[in-house]
């Protein structure tokens, strides 16, 4: 029990992406969200008529639940559009679990859609830039992550080559994912020699800019067992807020993932060493590094050594971001939902070439803002209950 939810009390029973990459001319965020929702419901063996809980976040829609109810012609009993940036979806999954267990809804859909690539130049996401930081023109979010990276390098001797390893590992996983946007060859030198965006991060240390969306369907565990897919149970969840502006991050090398992860592990009764598959929000290479440390996969400051020599690439020490992540698979403005989709597929055992054999547990960790809002989910198969 954790604030109204129970370990294994709810499960993910349907997942899907919408069209990804660069979508058809004129497609809207609503179109992609709707496509993802209908596909995820079909995956679960459900229809729109079953949906009575809607959990949406979007950067291009001001009132996403209100907007999508009109679009889909539905009137769910329960709606939530809490927004914490890229971690919104892990947070919304926890909120959905709470609503499901409280009986406020029976079929919860969490969804997202974005046309960030198609709208390039025409759509600028709102940046939360305060008047004291603004005169210095931080190129948010990347400047914020670059500052954290500079600090990690200074404190722990982390090298640009280590960060580059993270981008290369993501690309090697992406080569095994037919849905990944960028599957071209990538070597450490390519990352180091790419155009610099904000030192020490080059464009290859940065996530993709793509279009895309998707959806995840959740129900209570009893119902999950009667549906068509192998259920993926929510074993634990946690959320942590730290700061808003990078200027106010208490320690640039320690994220709120430490707190959100601790909550999720405690509820699940599991720890980092029990995780078979790891999905970490990789907006930038430094993000993966920090979360590996803060979620307990290696001690603080040793992330560089952990990822070195293909540590998180296929065949390495730990399978991290098996989809190719935000760095190589897709990153339509926010990546949080896609972490849950990939974790679910890994636990179903349907990931083909990139499948982690015998995966029974997974962690999906979302990140919002400039390392600001963190949300963690621990997921497991029937065998983990």
Q: What is the DSSP string of 142-200?
A: HHHHHHHHHHHHHHH---HHHHHHHHHHHHHHHTT-TT-S--S---HHHHHHSPEEETT
Pairing status of strand 108-114 against strand 53-56: parallel
Whichever of 102 and 129 has its CB closer to another protein, that residue is: 129
Task: Tell the smallest beta-carbon distance from residue 361 to another protein (Å).
Answer: 35
The residue assigned the tokens 């960060």 is 163
Under a CB-based contact definition with an 8 Å cutoff, are residues 264 and 363 in contact?
A: yes
Whichever of 46 and 147 has its CB closer to another protein, that residue is: 147
Whether residue 329 lies in the annotated active site: yes
Cis peptide before 200 (omega within 30 of 0): yes
Task: Tell the smallest beta-carbon distance from residue 296 to another protein (Å).
Answer: 24
Among residues 78, 145, 265, 329, the one annotated as catalytic is: 329
Residue 122, class by beta-carbon neighbours within 10 Å (0-12 exposed, 13-18 middle, 19+ buried)?
A: exposed
Q: What secondary structure letter does DSSP report for 17?
A: E
Whichever of 50 and 133 has its CB closer to another protein, that residue is: 133
| CA angle 60–321–173, rounded 5-degree value | 110
Pairwise CA distance, residues 384 & 233, whole Å: 9
Pairwise CA distance, residues 272 & 361, whole Å: 10
Task: Tell the smallest beta-carbon distance from residue 246 to another protein (Å).
Answer: 7
Whether residue 78 lies in the annotated active site: no
**Which residues contact another protein by CB under 8 A?**
130-133, 135-139, 142-143, 146-151, 153-154, 195-200, 245-248, 252
Pairwise CA distance, residues 378 & 269, whole Å: 10
Whichever of 195 and 357 has its CB closer to another protein, that residue is: 195
Whichever of 108 and 370 has its CB closer to another protein, that residue is: 370
Among residues 78, 145, 265, 281, the one annotated as catalytic is: 281
Task: Tell the smallest beta-carbon distance from residue 131 to another protein (Å).
Answer: 6
Phi, psi of 286 (to 5 degrees): -60, -30
Q: For residue 108, what are the β-bridge partners?
A: 53, 218
Q: For residue 280, what are the β-bridge partners?
A: 365
Whichever of 84 and 253 has its CB closer to another protein, that residue is: 253
Task: Tell the smallest beta-carbon distance from residue 248 to another protein (Å).
Answer: 8
Task: Tell the smallest beta-carbon distance from residue 129 to another protein (Å).
Answer: 10
Among 165, 177, 197, which Cα is nearest to 351's? 177
- Catalytic residue list: 281, 329
């Amino acid at each position: 029990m954790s604030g109204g939810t129970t370990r294994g009390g709810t499960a993910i029973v349907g997942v899907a992406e919408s069209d990804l990459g660069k979508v058809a001319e004129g497609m809207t965020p609503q179109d992609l969200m709707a496509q993802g929702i209908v596909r995820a419901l079909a995956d679960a063996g459900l229809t729109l008529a079953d949906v009575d809980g809607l959990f949406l976040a979007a950067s291009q829609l001001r009132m996403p639940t209100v907007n999508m109810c009109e679009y889909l012609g539905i009137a769910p009993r329960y709606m939530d559009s809490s927004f914490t940036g890229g971690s919104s979806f892990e947070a919304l999954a926890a909120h959905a679990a709470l609503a499901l267990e409280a009986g406020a809804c029976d079929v919860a859909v969490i969804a997202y859609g974005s046309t960030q690539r198609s709208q390039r130049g025409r759509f600028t996401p709102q940046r939360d830039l305060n008047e004291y930081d603004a005169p210095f023109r931080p190129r948010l979010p990347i400047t914020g992550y670059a500052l954290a990276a500079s600090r990690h390098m200074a404190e722990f001797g982390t090298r640009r080559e280590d960060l580059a390893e993270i981008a290369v590992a993501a690309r090697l996983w992406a080569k095994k994912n037919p849905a990944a946007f960028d599957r071209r060859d990538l070597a450490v030198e390519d990352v180091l020699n790419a155009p610099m965006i904000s030192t020490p991060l080059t464009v290859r240390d940065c996530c993709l800019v793509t279009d895309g969306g998707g959806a995840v369907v959740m129900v209570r565990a009893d119902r999950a067992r009667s549906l068509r897919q192998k259920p993926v149970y929510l074993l634990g969840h946690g959320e942590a807020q730290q700061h808003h502006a990078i200027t106010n991050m208490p320690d640039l090398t320690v994220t709120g993932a430490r707190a959100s992860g601790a909550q999720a592990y405690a509820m699940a009764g599991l720890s980092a060493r029990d995780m078979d598959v790891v999905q970490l929000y990789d907006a930038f290479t430094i993000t993966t590094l920090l979360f590996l440390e803060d979620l307990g996969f290696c001690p603080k400051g040793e992330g560089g050594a952990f990822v070195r020599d293909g540590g998180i690439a296929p065949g390495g020490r730990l399978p991290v971001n098996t989809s190719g992540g935000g760095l190589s698979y897709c990153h339509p403005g926010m990546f949080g939902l896609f972490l849950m989709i990939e974790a679910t597929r890994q636990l179903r055992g349907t990931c083909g070439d990139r499948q982690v054999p015998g995966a029974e547990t997974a962690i999906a960790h979302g990140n919002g803002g400039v390392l600001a809002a963190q949300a963690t989910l621990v997921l497991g198969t029937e065998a983990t209950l």
